Amino acid sequence: MDLDSAVLKDGFFPPEALNRSPSLTWSGVPAGTRSFALLMMDVTPGVGQEMPHWVMYNIPASVSTLAAGLPRNPVLRGVGRQGINFFNETGYQGPVALADEANHTYRISLYALNCEPNLPPDLNGMTLLQHIQNDLLEEVFIEAVYARTFTLTSPDISLNKPLGLVHTRDGLNQSPALVWSNPPMGTQRYAVLAEDYTARPFTLWSVYDIPPHITRLAGNQPRDLVLQGIGFQGHNDANQMGYDGPLPDAGEERRLRFRVYALSGAPDLEPGMIAGDIRRAILPYFLAQAELEPRYKRTFTLFSPDFEDRRLMPAICRGQSPRLRWRNVPQGTRSLALVLKVPQHPPERRVTWMVYNIQPGLIEIPANLPAYDRLEGLGAQGVVLEKLESLKEVSSLGYARPNPPWGITYNCQFRLYALDFGPNLPLRLAPERLESLMQGHILAVAELTGLLRG
Q: What pLDDT, on a 0 to 100 scale, did the predictor assign at position 16?
A: 54
- CA–CA distance, 386 with 350 (Å, rounded to integer): 10
In 3D space, the residue among 361, 376, 365, 379 whose CA is nearest the CA of residue 426 turns out to be: 379
- What pLDDT score was predicted for residue 94? 85
pLDDT in tens, 73-118: 999 999 999 999 988 889 998 887 654 456 788 899 999 999 999 9
Q: Can you list the alpha helix ranges (DSSP code H) found in 202-331?
A: 275-282
Q: Which of 319, 391, 318, 383 is nearest to 353 (CA)?
A: 383
pTM: 0.51
Instruction: Identify the pLDDT of residue 390.
Output: 52
> Can you give the pLDDT at residue 70?
93
Query: Does residue 425 contact residue 376 with C-beta atoms inside 8 Å?
Result: no
Alpha carbon distance 285, 190 (integer Å): 10
DSSP string, 61-113: TT--EE-SS----SEETTTEEE-B-TTS-BS-------TTSPPEEEEEEEEEE
CA distances from 86 to 64, 100, 340 (A): 26, 22, 58
Cβ count within 10 A of residue 213: 5
Cβ neighbourhood burial of 321 (10 Å; 0-12, 13-18, 19+):
buried
Q: In this structure, is the dihedral angle defined by the CA atoms of residues 372, 373, 376 and 378, taken in order, positive or negative?
A: positive
Q: 127-160: b or e for each residue (b if 16 or more CB lie within 10 Å)? A: ebbebbeebebeebebebbbebebebbbebbeee
22 by Cβ neighbours in 10 Å (0-12 / 13-18 / 19+) ranks as buried
Within the chain, which residues score under 50 in pLDDT?
A: 48, 99-100
CA separation for the pair 364, 326 (Å, rounded): 7
Q: What pLDDT, in 10s, does the model give residues 398-446?
A: 998 888 888 899 999 999 999 999 899 999 999 999 999 999 999 989 9
Secondary structure letter of residue 404 according to DSSP: P
What is the DSSP code (8-state) at residue 128? Answer: H
Domains and CATH numbers, the chain: 2-146 (3.90.280.10), 151-297 (3.90.280.10), 301-453 (3.90.280.10)
